[in-house]
Structures are given as C-alpha cells and as structure tokens.
Amino acid sequence: MSTVEAAVPGAEPRSYLQEGRGIRSWIFTLDHKRIGVLYLVSVMASFLLGGLFALLVRTELLTPQRTIMDAQTYNQMFTLHGAVMIFLFIIPGIPAVIGNFVLPLMLGAKDVAFPRLNLASWWLYVVGSLFALASILIGAVDTGWTFYTPYSTETSTAVVPMTMGAFILGFSSVFTGLNFIVTIHKLRPAGMGWFRMPLLLWALYATAIIQVLATPVLGITLILLIVERVVGVGIFDPALGGDPVLYQHFFWFYSHPAVYIMILPAMGVVSEVISVFSRKHIFGYSFIAGSSIAIAFLSFLVWGHHMFTSGQSPLANTIFSALTFSVAIPSAVKVFNWLATMFRGNIVLKTPMLWILGFIFLFGIGGLTGLFLGALATVIHVHDTYFVVSHFHYTMFGGPVMALMGALFFWWPKFFGRMYVEFWGKVSAVVVFIGFNVTFFPQFILGLRGMPRRYYNYPPEFESLHVLSTLGGYFLSIGFLIAFFTLVHAIFRGKKAAANPFGAATMEWQTSSPPPLHNFVEAPHVGDPYDLAGLVYDEASDGFRPAAKEGSS
C-alpha cells in the first residue's frame, strides 16, 4: 500500500475527500468515488431544473384556461420537464451516482476497470447537458421528450441541439455501463462467485447490459433525425418519402429498455436496504438475481406496446401484449421476495427504509396499472391520457426516484462520513410519499374520464382534480426541499458516522466512512453479503462491527 496510508498505524486513514483540494482535483479526478460525487452534484442540479419545469406545468394546469403561460410555452415546459428528467436525471441517477461510488467498494476493488473512461463519461454528461441547456436558451423544444417525427423535423424550435445533447448523454451512459460490466466480470475478488455478489451488483449488471445494447440504437436514431432535419434526407418524414412509424420503432427500441435502465438499479437498492432494515437475510437471493437478468432480457422484446394505436398489425400487437404481460412475472418475483424478507423480520423504520417502503407501495401501483395499458382493449380507451402519465410517474418517480432518495440516505454516511438528522429525513420521506399520491392518483381518474395528456386547456369538470394534483405537486416539492436540506446539513453539521452505521454486511461498510483514496487499508473480508447475524452493535461508535473480532483491536 502507499506510504500515505501507512503513516500513522491505528489512526483513521486520510479519506478520499481530503486527497487534493481545489476544483481541478475534482473535475479531473480518476477516483470513482469523486466521480460519483461529481455525478451527484450534476444529477441533482438537473433534478431541481426538471422539478422546476414540472411545477410550472402543474401551475399552468390549475385553471382550465391560461393561468401563467401561453400554449407554446406550455408545450416547451412539458417537453423540457420530460427530457431533463429522463436523460439528465433518472437514467444517470442511480447507476452513475450510487453505482459509481458503491460498485467498486462492494467488490473490494480499488476502482472501476477503466477510470479514465469513467471520467470521460462524466465529461460527456456535462457536454451533453450543455447542449440541452443551449437548446433551452435558443428555443426550447416543444415536441415532447419523444421527439416524434414528422413534427420534430418541422418545428422551428431547437430540436438539433437537444437531440445532439441526448446523443452525447447516450454515450456517457454507454461508457458507464461498459465500465460496470467489465468491472463486475474482471475485478471481483477471489471468493466472490457470481452468486455471492450483492444484489445491487446484479441489478447494475443487468442495467449495464441494457445501456450497452440499447443506447447505440437511440444514438443512430437521433443522428438520422438530425440528418433528416438538416439535410432533408427522406427517413421518417412521409413528405420526403420517409416512414414516421419507423422512427417510433427505433425510438422505443431504446426507450422502452431505458425505463428498465431506470428501474433495475432502483430494484437493486431496494434489495440491499430491505434486508439491512429488516435485520434479516434476503429471501430468495437467486430469484431476485435471476429476475434482474430476466427483466433485462424481456425489456428488448416489448417496445411495440408503445405503438398499439400506431397502425401495427393485430398479430404484432398480440405478441407485444403477451410479452408485456410477461414482464410482470420477474417484477412480481422481486416484490414478493422483498415482502418475504420483511416477513418476521425485525423491521427498523429508519429514513432509507421509509423511502424504500414507499418504493414498493408506489411501484406496486405503477406496475399493476401497467397491465391495464398492456391489455389491447383497455389501452384503446386510455391511450395518451392522464392514465398513462400517472402510470409512468408511479413507476418512474415512485420507483427510481424513491429508491435514489433511499439510497442517498443509506449511503450518505459512506459518501461524506456524516450522519443526517433522522427526524427530518423521516419527515421528508413521509411528505414526499403523501404529496406524490395526492399529485398522481387524481391523474388516474382524470385519465379514465378522458383527459388527454399534453393538453393546455381542459373542460371545467376536470378542474377540481387538476387543482388537487397541482397542490399535491407543491407539497411534494416541500418534501424534496426538506430532504435536500437534511442531506446538505449533514455534510456540514452532521455527527461523525461510524464505518457501518446501519449494520450491513456488504463490503463497502468494512472500510472507514468516508473511505480512503484506495478504498481499503486492509483487504476486506469476503463473505455472505446478507449475513447480518455476524454483526454486533457498538455503542461507542454508534455503529456495527463484526462479532468475531470483538476485543481484538
């Protein structure tokens, strides 16, 4: 090991946060932990931006007529909300923030396989975001985040910078995924077989496979869109001899798997947190692991369910519908295994667990309403209504965002070595949970009653539910503000965190909080990642330590 770490035997090693000061030591770092923090800051900034757009959209919908903006601005706002939230926030959210920080630690490795590629991925993220921001300044896109042709080749707004940004962000995502696959294959320590990996790694592996296989198709689709818009080659625009449904096929071939890029790592987080806070070994390890791979596989076979009403053949519709239903099987396998893990566990209702319980509840609703949308008859009625909007937010917001928040609270002590104030953490989780349901449950009803998505004005009879939804949105934002203040407060004023404050058995908790530059001073012990029985609570440090080593150091 390097001389720095061995300087004072017995003392706390210098943490990665203390290695180097100044902005250059951060933005050119090759350390996976610092890159994780860089992603944390940039992804959270995008979240705030996307949330602001969402609030503007909801405020506009307070009244049936114009409230605060004209129709064109409204179109731009919901497009920006979608594009920023999807491409800048949720897709990189858990893999790039939590994955970057935790994955090598969970493997007991010093870094990811390709640290330079990792840094390049963050830089690409920054460049892609700048393109997206430039498009907002030049002339915010009004096509919806799906950029459907032929409108996206005709509108006068800045489609090219936005799609260029999404293209670059796609490469950032591919590089992260590629790095994770190689790291998991080649940097697992001796003694950690595939089926002794923490379940978050299985989830990140499945996610990475989708990132690597699906994202290039989005890349070429957006390139073709740009070529059509700039040069006028007939690809997707029927007026030029193109085929607009081809665009939808290409787009959803990526963008349906992309929702699993968002949800799979979230499911991995749930698997970690649920076992720790139920003080019990995870139930059905191999089924949870296998269902991640099954979801990744099935994700490539269901894109056609976005085109049930776009003139697909009835045969194709039937096949896509059946395949869509089959995704419910591995998803349900996970949910039932989580419930079985909690069953007769010693449940500790700390902040991360509250967020994760919120995940299971909301994702359950989101997943079940997905079955309505996969059914060929029902979808004709609810297609392109608020029912779809609500379903999407229950799965993508109730899923990945709740899990990301849970993950941040869970790994925050490891990130920064400080504990947050438990009370305010819990308050934020509860406020967000209530606000979320008040915001989005009315939208199911609106959708069933026929309120179409993306409409600027609506009939007066929908007003009360829209008002309820908007008020819920404000309440929800308050919850997130509390969460952010709680987390930021912890960094500056928080109590010092123990190495293992929650009593988890995965390897990242065997090193100090925050970890030293090379992660581990002494080689970590490779064992069952869910064997919580071997840990005892130590009051002096307010954390857990291995029972076997009691009194030895």
Partner 1 sequence: MSHAPDHPAHLAHHYETPRQQFEAGKLGMWLFLVTEVLLFGGLFCWYAVYRANQPEVFLAGHRYLDKSLGGLNTIVLIVSSVTMALAVRAAQLGNRRALLGFLAATFLFACCFLGVKYVEYSHKIRDGLLPGRHFQPAAEKTGAGRVPVAPADAPPDAPPAPAPADPAPAGAPAPPPGAADAPRLVPSAAGPEGLAPPPTREVAAEAGRKSVHLFFGIYFVMTGLHGLHVIAGMIVIAWLFFRARRGAFSPSYWLPVDLGGLYWHLVDVIWIFLFPLLYLIH
**Residue 452 tokens, joined:** 């179409």
- Reported in sequence order, the residue ranges of 414-467 that DSSP labels E, i.e. its strands, are 418-419
Shortest Å, Cβ 146 to partner 1 = 17
Answer yes or no whether residue 232 interacts with partner 1 by CB under 8 A.
Answer: yes
Answer yes or no whether residue 240 interacts with partner 1 by CB under 8 A.
Answer: yes
Report CA-CA distances (Å) from 491 to 95, 329, 418, 419.
22, 41, 6, 8
Helices (DSSP H) in 278-350: which residue ranges?
285-299, 314-342
Answer yes or no whether residue 508 interacts with partner 1 by CB under 8 A.
Answer: no
Give the residue carrying structure tokens 């960094």: 491
Candidates 109-117, 157-165, 193-201, 544-552 — which segment interacts with partner 1 by CB under 8 A?
A: 109-117
Candidates 52-60, 229-237, 397-405, 455-463 — which segment interacts with partner 1 by CB under 8 A?
A: 229-237
- Whichever of 320 and 420 has its CB closer to partner 1, that residue is 320
Answer yes or no whether residue 227 interacts with partner 1 by CB under 8 A.
Answer: yes
- CA dihedral for 406, 146, 436, 390, sign (positive or negative): negative
Interacting positions 510-529 with partner 1 (CB under 8 A): 518
- Whichever of 87 and 520 has its CB closer to partner 1, that residue is 520
Binding mask 112-131 for partner 1 (x = CB under 8 A): -xxx-x--------------
**Residue 472 tokens, joined:** 């819920």
Q: Which of 60, 142, 228, 272 binds partner 1 (CB under 8 A)?
A: 228
Shortest Å, Cβ 296 to partner 1 = 14
Candidates 72-80, 171-179, 418-426, 508-516 — which segment interacts with partner 1 by CB under 8 A?
A: 171-179
- Residues 217, 544: Cα–Cα separation, whole Å: 46
Answer yes or no whether residue 439 interacts with partner 1 by CB under 8 A.
Answer: no
Picking from 276, 295, 135, 288, the residue whose alpha carbon sits closest to that of residue 206 is 295
**Residue 262 tokens, joined:** 């968002």
- Residues 495, 417: Cα–Cα separation, whole Å: 9
Candidates 47-55, 172-180, 274-282, 374-382 — which segment interacts with partner 1 by CB under 8 A?
A: 172-180
Q: Which of 14, 19, 62, 110 binds partner 1 (CB under 8 A)?
A: 110
- CA dihedral for 297, 301, 305, 310, sign (positive or negative): positive
- Residues 38, 1: Cα–Cα separation, whole Å: 26
- Assign residue 348 a region (left: φ > 0; alpha: ψ between -120 and 50; beta: otherwise): beta
Interacting positions 40-59 with partner 1 (CB under 8 A): none
CA atoms within 13 A on the CB side of 213: 18
Q: 3-state DSSP call for residue 5?
A: coil
**Residues 278 and 345 sit within 8 Å (Cβ to Cβ):** yes
Answer yes or no whether residue 191 interacts with partner 1 by CB under 8 A.
Answer: no
- Whichever of 181 and 266 has its CB closer to partner 1, that residue is 181
Q: Which of 9, 241, 311, 314 binds partner 1 (CB under 8 A)?
A: 241
Give one DSSP letter per residue of 510-550, joined into a string.
Answer: GS-SSPBTTS-SSPPPP--TT-GGGEEEETTTTEEEESTTT
**Residues 292 and 268 sit within 8 Å (Cβ to Cβ):** yes
Q: Which of 46, 75, 179, 500 binds partner 1 (CB under 8 A)?
A: 179
Candidates 174-182, 327-335, 350-358, 393-401 — which segment interacts with partner 1 by CB under 8 A?
A: 174-182
Candidates 235-243, 274-282, 372-380, 423-431 — which segment interacts with partner 1 by CB under 8 A?
A: 235-243
Answer yes or no whether residue 238 interacts with partner 1 by CB under 8 A.
Answer: yes
Residue type, 98: I
Candidates 223-231, 282-290, 493-501, 507-515 — which segment interacts with partner 1 by CB under 8 A?
A: 223-231
Q: Which residues bind partner 1 (CB under 8 A)?
A: 2-3, 109-111, 113-115, 117, 174, 178-179, 181-183, 185-187, 212-217, 219-221, 223-224, 227-228, 231-235, 238-241, 243, 246, 250, 518
